Amino acid sequence: MSCTIIVGTQWGDEGKGKIVDYLTEDADVVVRAQGGHNAGHTVIADGEKHVLHLMPSGILWQGKTCVIGNGVVLDPASLLKEIDGLAEKGLEVKPSQLLISDAAHLNLPYHRMLDAAREAGLGERAIGTTRRGIGPSYGDKIDRSGIRAGDLAYPDLLAERFAAKVRENNAILMAAGLETIDFDTEVAVLLDCALRLQPFLANTPNFLHKALAAGKDLLFEGAQGTYLDIDHGTYPFVTSSNTTAGGACTGSGVSPRAITRSIGVAKAYTTRVGSGPFVTENEDFGERLHGMGREFGATTGRARRCGWFDAVLVGYATRVNGFDEIALTNLDGLDGLERIKLCSHYELDGGRLDYPPSRIEDYTRCQPIYEEMDGWGVDTTQARNFEDLPEKARAYLDRIASLSGAPVTIVGVGPDRSQTLVQ
């Protein structure tokens, strides 16, 4: 029995999909416990590129069970689009392979419309959401007025609850002078989706408890990253779920005592999409990466903002998530640089910080304190073992480990599964 949590250490897009895919070989069950189709996880399997949003990456393997846990907000149409997309590629998703928690909350068209309306209303202070309705879906959950996936099995009840929510939200949209939802069209879509998704519904905490009791190996695929966490992130420029390790437990019903391993996935530099402070942001470095065709969002296609590695963020994430190890991806993105900067501390009001202050106004004023290291100048994409890496690249890994408080045990030198070095 093992229970491994994979968590993003930065602002998402660290390469979690690739690392989960790599570790799935040794797992029986892959679980998504939070977030929704705001996530975009890229996996290159057998030379083919897949971008998964709600579907756990384990679906690309034969003989693995995937679970969408109670902590996820699920857009039924979006999940079916993924299922159909996989079927077109010859990957049929059967109910025996995918279990959807009946306690997961549904993400419905009015959530998307409210998200867009709120963003537009914020003007320059917009969060830069993925406009997938994530905030309003979790809002309904916390407000105790959401519709849960279990209702997909009861069409009459589902239609009745949906009608009430459409009435409520149409009043809000109308008052704001915005387009409203056409109930007849949307309820027909929802009922069609319900019919197709019913066979996948299950009491997933119970399934996971039984799997653990049977000695199975579980892998939790985190979505987003530590600094998008609703509690620990750069609020309000965050998503609406707990992206940190605790979210894996509350979002699945697996006890914290069952967790055996916690791995933080970090890029060898830092990226962020959407608005909000970014202490080590560097436009020249970003242009260099974009020029190489890298760092465009997997969900929205937006160019990601880029900057140097920030050990304040990754170190604090190690403490919040209890990382045993760090998987460092995209080391190859630094190939060819003469000098590499790495932020060890922040300076704020004349003092030094090794943690990000929680008030956004303070965080925005933090200045990076950098260390500089020599670059390694050569291509690392052909490396297959730690020993193949140039000495200067290994020195960079050592420095990251010592500043972050956890050993770097996995390194990515390219998007392919084979470009994963393990120590």
Positions annotated as catalytic residues are 13, 41
Nearer to ligand IMO, 229 or 325 (CB): 229
Regarding 6 and contact with ligand IMO (CB under 6 A), the answer is no
Residue 2, token pair as written in the block: 């093992």
Sign of the Cα pseudo-torsion (78, 166, 191, 68, in order):
positive
Q: Does 41 help bind ligand GDP (rule: CB under 6 A)?
A: yes
Total residues binding Mg ion (CB under 5 A): 3
CB 335 within 8 A of CB 413: no
Indicate whether 332 belongs to the interface with ligand GDP (CB under 6 A): yes
Of 298 and 389, nearer to Mg ion (C-beta) is 298
Q: How far is the CB of 287 from ligand GDP (least distance, A)?
A: 17
One-character DSSP codes across 188-255: HHHHHHHHHHGGGEE-HHHHHHHHHHTT-EEEEE--S-GGG-TTTSSTTSS-SS--SHHHHHHTTT--
d(CA 133, CA 115): 5
Sign of the CA dihedral with 205 first, then 210, 213, and 217 last: negative
Angle formed at CA 72 by CA 70 and CA 75, multiple of 5 degrees: 120
Window 135-194: residues binding ligand IMO (CB under 6 A): 135
Considering the rule CB under 6 A, would residue 32 count as an interface residue with ligand GDP? no
Q: Which residue's beta carbon is nearest to the bound ligand GDP?
A: 412
- DSSP category for residue 347: E
The interface partner of residue 76, options being ligand GDP, ligand IMO, Mg ion, none and the CB cut-off 5 to 8 Å by kind, is none
- Three-class secondary structure of residue 130 per DSSP: coil
By the rule CB under 6 A, 224 interacts with ligand IMO: yes
**Dihedrals phi, psi of 57, to nearest 5 degrees:** -60, -25
Q: Is there binding between residue 127 and ligand IMO (CB under 6 A)?
A: yes
Q: 239: which 2 tokens?
A: 């998503």
Q: Binding string, 289-328, against ligand GDP, x = CB under 6 A?
A: ---------x------------------------------
Q: How far is the CB of 303 from ligand GDP (least distance, A)?
A: 13
Instruction: Decide if residue 330 touches ligand IMO (CB under 6 A).
Output: no
Of the candidates 6, 7, 9, 14, which one interacts with ligand GDP according to CB under 6 A? 14
**Cα–Cα separations (whole angstroms), residue 1 to 203, 239, 254:** 21, 32, 13
Q: Please, which residue, 275 or 419, has the CB nearer to ligand GDP?
A: 419
Give the footprint of ligand GDP on this chain (CB under 6 A): 8, 12-18, 40-42, 298, 329-330, 332, 412-415, 419
Give the footprint of ligand IMO on this chain (CB under 6 A): 8, 11-13, 38-41, 127-130, 132, 134-135, 223-225, 228, 239-240, 273-274, 298
